[in-house]
Structures are given as C-alpha cells and as structure tokens.
Amino acid sequence: MRAFQLSRTGTAPGLVDLPLPAPGPGELAVRIEACGLNFADLLMIDGKYQDTPPTPFVMGMEAAGMVTAAGSGTQIAPGTRVAVFAGQGGLAEAGVFPEERCTPLPASMSATQAAAFQIAYGTSHVALVHRARLRPGETLAVLGAAGGVGLTAVEIGHKIGARVIALARGAEKLEIARAAGADIVIDSETPDLRGALRAAGGVDVVYDAIGGAAGEAAFRALRPAGRFLVIGFAAGSLPVLPLNHALVKNIEIHGLYWGGYLTLDPGLLRASMAELFGWFAEGGLHPHVSASFPLAQAAEALDMLRARRSTGKIVVTMP
C-alpha cells in the first residue's frame, strides 16, 4: 500500500510503499477513503506536538473508510463504514486500528465529511458544552472562526442559541463564518480588537484557536464570570493573559486538548460524538471542506494548511 510517512522529525515526509497490515485481536483493518488534515500534523513534522509518535510513522490523525477485516474479540463487522481517530496512520490506502478508535458512521455521512468531523467538531463540542457551559443568549467570540476548529465552534455556538461573534482575516473568510451562523463578524486585522469586541457588547466565552495578541485582546473583552478557552496557537505565539483580570473579574481559563480525553474521560468523548453524529443525521451540522487532494499530493495539502489559505478543513482522498 502507499502511505505518507514521516521518517524523522524536522524533515519532509514523503510517499512510501509499505506492507498491507493485518488486524490482531481487538483491531480492525480499514480501507481508507479519506483523511482530514489538522494543524497538529504540522507540529508533528517539527517534533513540537505533545503526542508526536516515534518515527518513522504514517501521518494522518483522523480518517474514514470501510472495515475490510476484523481481529478476534471485535464487535464491528467487515463492511461497516467507520470514522477513525488514531493519532497516526490516516494518510495511507489502508490501516489497522484499535476497535475503540473506530466509530460507525451515520448512513448519510460521506467519507470526506467523516474525515473532517471528529477532531474539529469534537473539540468545539467538548469545549463549549462541557467546559465553558455555554448557554443560550450568551455571547461567544470565536478567534480563527473560518479555520478547521473555529468554523465548527461558530456552528455549534449558533446551534446552542448563543450570540456568535466571528473573528477571521479578510472578507471571504468572514462571509464563510457568517454563513455558518455568526451574528457579528470582525476582521482580525482590526487594530483594536478589544475595543471592537466591547463595542459589540462584550463577551461571555472566548474560543481562542489563534493565541498571540488576538487572544490577549479577546481575554480583556470578557465580562465578569467569563470563560476563556485555550484551543490552539495558530498565530505561532502564546497569548499573554493578565491574570489579575481573571482574579478581579472571576474569569475561568480552560485548556482543551481533545485527544487527552481518550485517557482522561473516554466516556465523555463517546457521548459527545454520539450527540454530534445525531445532530449531523438531523441535518444540523454541515462540515465545510474547502480543498481536497489525492494522496500523491499530500505534501501540497500540508503546504496549503501551513499557509492558512484554506477555510474549514482540508481532506486527502485515496484512490
């Protein structure tokens, strides 16, 4: 099979030929049809991600496809369409994964949609519903609102009934965020983001996938008893949060690493994904895939992600 492998951190990954794997006890063999890209993939190449596997490894954190064989002790039968979150192995024509990392798909969900679904929607759902306890009528500000996770935060915030302020760069990205349910859009290049958010009425919850100066500005716009969600640092630097404001205004700061819940509270992840798949089946969620590449162009797909030229998700498809 063909696979996109990182041989050593700090070097460019590339296509290789690998033996077709066979499942052992508790494992499923999957013919992979699509793999979603994530910002963490770029961090893995540089060896900067907290869960970077030992090299060499096949890249691709989340994928979707068809079960072709099942090891002993498994419950999911061959022929079942599944989404897979394994942290690696998705950028290949096939793979073997622990059954607990595979979730049967709704009949209406395509492999491309499934490959773009778990990490982005799962992150936003756990962050907004379970950590920030976002309520109808509250105001949610989403930084990086047109990105892979940000756009799902806009969509889920809107579904919950919050007033959503989307921050993104440029008119095209802002329009995509508005179409996903944003009530107010603000260009992230605005010189005074704090002032713009305050002028929009202030904020109860900040969803920060960007970090840097934008994260600090949004933090300063929080109302008393606000909640600040640390999701990522796509800007390349950490926000400097004035903790005296957190004290005086009773602000809660929540770090959210979705993959960490696989050991911290896997039951929460299962319940969260079940609710999200239910919302999708009801027509309440619409994964946004802005670009699709064949496996042979996986490097170009990562370049697009690195340059932040995409909106929503980038997906790599298999022949």
pLDDT tens, residue by residue, 49-88:
989 999 999 999 999 999 999 999 999 999 999 999 999 9
Q: Read off the pLDDT of residues 116-126 as tens digits, 9 standing for 90 and up.
A: 999 999 999 99
pLDDT of residue 285: 96
pLDDT above 90 (res 161)? yes
Q: Return the number of other C-beta atoms located less than 10 Å from residue 158's C-beta.
A: 18
**Among residues 124, 136, 133, which one has the least CA distance to residue 288?**
124
pLDDT in the model for residue 234 = 86
Domain 2-102+109-117+287-317 homologous superfamily, CATH: Medium-chain alcohol dehydrogenases, catalytic domain (3.90.180.10)
User: What does the pLDDT average to over 248-262?
Assistant: 95
Q: Does 92 score more than 90 pLDDT?
A: yes
Is residue 21 predicted with pLDDT exceeding 90? no
Q: Is 281 in a helix, a strand, or coil?
A: helix
Q: At 236, is the pLDDT very low, low, confident or very high (cuts 50, 70, 90)?
A: confident
pLDDT at 319 exceeding the cut of 90: no
* Average pLDDT rounded to a whole number, residues 224-252: 94
Confidence of residue 286 (pLDDT cuts 50, 70, 90): very high
Rg (C-alpha) for the chain, rounded Å, is 19
Closest to 134 measured CA to CA, from 167, 149, 156, 106: 156
Q: Which pair of tokens denotes residue 225? A: 């008893």
Domain residue spans of the chain? 2-102+109-117+287-317, 119-257
Q: What is the pLDDT of residue 159?
A: 97
Domain 119-257 of CATH type 3.40.50.720: yes
